[in-house]
């Protein structure tokens, strides 16, 4: 019998060539694996077919957080090159960040990024993270927008290109703050969103700014010992009202991405969805019940990742494992720029 709290239970074989390095030119032409939880059937479609799978009156929940140009390349005072990844905004021009290589930064010192931008870097905290405070608090962000790089994940083995500013972003991204994209939303086009609305599907926004939790692998052998890093999320009152009404009337709520699921679950209290803003470190894995979403759109996730554990909680461990084995056999494209899965 499989031990669902054992980290190794979430490992799987993935040929490296199935990890998508570039997106498809047409977002909605990605493949879509449809998993029916009731029957256990798995079918193969294209993402544009999703319009036919959703019904009038259903609610589609999207995360409209926008990826910021969070990767900065700069220099120490001795000319050594250094990389800074901004994680979350603290106050003023202060940001929590990761620095690489950081071991030789033994003291607070100034890093130079351009003639207009420099930052004072702090000593690391217990997690190895630092605080950087940029000069020119009123104008520093405009400079970061100019010189910052798209923070592509480490499994995309190339430098970011100009096109990534658009492609590593959903078409509905609006609220800046994420350092990784809510990738399940990549497959939607403006045309698809219009088709869904014309069909009578309600589209509502939540916001979860994706932080370093995305980058941190689980290091504990038992997954229930893992501590998630907190991320900031928001549900507007209007969104909560639409979802609560749908739940009362028995209409389905379809979450786009793990970030939407985590946000919805973080605001679910006593049978109702609350509104507001908060930091959440919710970790969903098998044994934990998902209360709000009736269906989920997601990408294919890394072995041993918290995202794969959430999918296993939603679809069931065995069905998820079977789906991933089939995805490898059928040569689906994996991870951020890869194909999608619809779990109903």
Per-residue pLDDT reduced to its tens digit, 253-281: 999 999 999 999 999 999 999 999 999 99
pLDDT number for residue 331: 99
| % of the chain beyond a pLDDT of 70 | 99
215 has a pLDDT exceeding 80? no
pLDDT above 90 as % of the chain: 90
Residue 218 pLDDT = 94
Give yes or no for a contact between 262 and 189, defined as CB atoms under 8 angstroms apart: no
The mean per-residue pLDDT over the stretch 1-8 comes to 97
Average pLDDT, the chain: 96
Question: Mean pLDDT over residues 10-24, rounded?
Answer: 98
Distance CA 161, CA 303 (A): 27
Domain 71-147 CATH (choose: 3.20.20.370, 2.60.120.620, 3.40.50.10470, 2.40.10.240): 2.40.10.240
Q: What's the Cα-to-Cα distance from 312 to each of 9, 22, 316, rounded to whole Å?
A: 11, 27, 5
pLDDT score of 128: 85
Listed by start position, the domains of the chain span: 7-67+165-343, 71-147
HSE-up of 313 (CA within 13 Å, CB side)?
A: 22
Give the model confidence (pLDDT) of 189-210 as tens digits.
Answer: 999 999 999 999 999 999 999 9
Query: Domain 7-67+165-343: which topology?
Result: QueA-like (3.40.1780)
Q: How far apart are CA 67 and CA 164, in angstroms?
A: 11
The band of 153, judged by pLDDT with boundaries at 50, 70 and 90, is very high
């Amino acid at each position: 019998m499989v031990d669902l709290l054992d980290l190794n239970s979430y490992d799987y074989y993935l040929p490296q060539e199935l990890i998508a390095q570039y997106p498809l030119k047409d977002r909605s032409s990605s493949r879509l694996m449809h998993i029916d939880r009731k029957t256990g059937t798995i079918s193969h479609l294209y993402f544009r077919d999703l319009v036919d799978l959703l019904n009038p009156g259903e609610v589609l929940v999207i995360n409209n957080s926008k990826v910021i140009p969070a990767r900065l390349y700069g220099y120490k005072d001795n000319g050594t090159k250094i990389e800074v990844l901004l994680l979350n905004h603290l106050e003023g021009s202060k940001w929590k960040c990761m620095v690489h290589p950081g071991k030789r930064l033994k003291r607070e010192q100034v890093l130079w990024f351009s003639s207009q931008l420099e930052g004072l870097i702090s000593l690391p905290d217990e997690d190895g993270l630092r605080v950087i405070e940029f000069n020119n608090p009123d104008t520093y962000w405009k400079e970061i927008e100019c010189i910052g790089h798209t923070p592509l994940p480490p499994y995309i083995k190339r430098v970011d290109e100009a096109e990534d500013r658009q492609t590593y972003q959903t078409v509905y991204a609006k609220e800046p703050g994420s350092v990784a994209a809510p990738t399940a939303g990549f497959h939607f086009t403006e045309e698809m969103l219009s088709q869904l609305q014309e069909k009578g599907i309600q589209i509502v926004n939540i916001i979860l700014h994706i932080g370093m939790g995305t980058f941190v692998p689980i290091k504990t052998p038992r997954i229930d010992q893992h501590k998630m890093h907190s991320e900031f999320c928001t549900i507007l009152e209007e969104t909560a009202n639409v979802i609560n009404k749908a739940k009362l009337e028995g209409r389905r709520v379809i979450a786009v991405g793990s970030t939407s699921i985590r946000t919805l679950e973080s605001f679910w209290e006593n049978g109702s969805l609350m509104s507001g803003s908060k930091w959440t470190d919710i970790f969903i894995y098998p044994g934990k019940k998902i209360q709000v979403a009736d269906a989920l759109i997601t990408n294919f996730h890394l072995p041993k990742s918290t995202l794969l554990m959430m999918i296993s909680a939603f679809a069931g461990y065995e069905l998820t494992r079977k789906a991933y084995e089939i995805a490898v056999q059928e040569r689906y494209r994996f991870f951020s720029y890869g194909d999608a899965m619809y779990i109903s």
